[in-house]
Amino acid sequence: MKPSPRWLAFVITFLFFGSLLSAMAASPAAVRVVDRLAYSWQSQQVQEPCILPNPKQPGRLVIFYSGVPATNRAVAFIGKAWAEAADPLHWHLDPSNPVFSPGPAGSWDHGTIRLDCVLYVPEEDAYYIYYSGTSGSIQDHIGLAICPAGKDGYSSIRPENIARFGDVPVLAPRPEKPFLEEMASQSAVWRERDAATHAWRWFMYYSYRGKDGILPGLRLATSKDGKHWTRHFNRDDPRGMGQIFASTPDAYYEWHQISKIGSTYVLCMEVGKNRGQRWRPVFAVSDRPDRGWRQLDLDFALQTSWTGVYRDDAHYHVATPALYEINHDWYLFVQACPRPKSDDYIEGHWDMWGFSCPRAVAIPGHPDQLHLPGQ
């Protein structure tokens, strides 16, 4: 018995739309996750996406980010948002933002602040908010603020509930040898249990300025409680700078994120090659949190390789990259801007973007994969 023409047409249509839906599901996405112009406090740029599972509401995400107003580019603030884990590219901004601002007159951070990273600490039921601050115009010290998570993990994140830890930063630049630092900033913090003692071990990877230059690489500090930190100078750095890996000369290393993918520790960093000529995401990897770090090629994740989503008029510069696995899918959140007419990235209008990452790329020398935007 031959199938009827009507039945054949139905089957062909079903297969066509099934293939179309599968292609749409697998295709990469690029979404502006923040309406920069919706609020004046973030109208110049939005940056530093720190995303955590809501500890009190399964299936929801808590988002911290910072913004800079167009009316005063020398100051920044921190805000919050939330999203469904099933829809992580759709952020719900809080109209009461910002939730954290520069400190009062006379404090070490009254000039401006910048968000570094956020951890949820279950034993204290609190968010640890690490940030860079200054009494001048360039963030040169690292501070800590602590906020109770509250009943729903979100609504209690308010200015009156966020308390600075102490009156001084938790990490200040060390001017003496061998550090010779003038500034310390942009910390990424990781913590894990010691296999032998079961005590918490905290690791901070931070940027610096000083004798070695402007943002020449990353150094390490460690802690037992996340509040009191001890610096480490890596004597194995081939250039004698005490950095955790051999950085690229004349490149700027600034905001970064630390995570663990499989058995591989991963630093996702913003790097400005040739003194900020072209900002891009760069990765460093290790099989231990305190040593053995190695930087991958500067072009390994360059945005121009994101086939199908890269746009020169939107993503010429890419900074503050953070890679997250959410509901078994991978996403990269960044701030990005078109190439400014002046060719000075500081003049750019930076939007916050979220990219789906369907492209799996093997990590050289490691058994795990990185997931990147593009086809």
> What does the pLDDT look like over 24-79, one tens digit per residue?
344 579 999 999 999 999 999 999 999 999 999 999 999 999 999 999 999 999 99
Alpha carbons within 13 A on the beta-carbon side of 157: 31
% pLDDT > 70, the chain: 93
**pLDDT value of residue 347:** 84
With respect to residue 11, please indicate whether it lies within any of the assigned structural domains.
Answer: no
What gap in Å lies between CA 285 and CA 49, rounded to an integer? Answer: 21
* Number of domains within the chain: 2
130 DSSP β-pair partners = 117, 144
With respect to residue 10, please indicate whether it lies within any of the assigned structural domains.
Answer: no
What gap in Å lies between CA 375 and CA 29, rounded to an integer? Answer: 10
Q: Specify whether the CB–CB gap between 294 and 285 falls below 8 A.
A: yes
With respect to residue 7, please indicate whether it lies within any of the assigned structural domains.
Answer: no
Residues in the chain: 375
Tell whether 200 and 149 lie within a shared domain. Answer: no
Tell whether 370 and 228 lie within a shared domain. Answer: yes
Task: Write the CA distances from 296 to 4, 119, 362, integer angstroms.
Answer: 58, 26, 11
Tell whether 49 and 96 lie within a shared domain. Answer: yes
Task: Write the CA distances from 29 to 49, 65, 212, 257, 357, integer angstroms.
Answer: 17, 21, 40, 22, 8
Look-up of token digits 């499989």: 262
Which residue among 141, 166, 191 closes a domain?
166
Tell whether 339 and 201 lie within a shared domain. Answer: yes
Look up residue 113 and give its two tokens.
Answer: 């602040």
Boundaries of domain holding 41: 31-122+131-166
With respect to residue 260, please indicate whether it lies within any of the assigned structural domains.
Answer: yes
Tell whether 178 and 162 lie within a shared domain. Answer: no
Tell whether 247 and 193 lie within a shared domain. Answer: yes
With respect to residue 345, please indicate whether it lies within any of the assigned structural domains.
Answer: yes
Q: Specify whether the CB–CB gap between 252 and 272 falls below 8 A.
A: yes
With respect to residue 5, please indicate whether it lies within any of the assigned structural domains.
Answer: no
pTM value? 0.92
Look up residue 56 and give its two tokens.
Answer: 């009190």
Alpha carbons within 13 A on the beta-carbon side of 234: 22
Tell whether 222 and 349 lie within a shared domain. Answer: yes
Tens-digit pLDDT profile for residues 319-372: 999 999 999 999 999 999 999 988 888 888 999 999 999 999 999 999 999 999
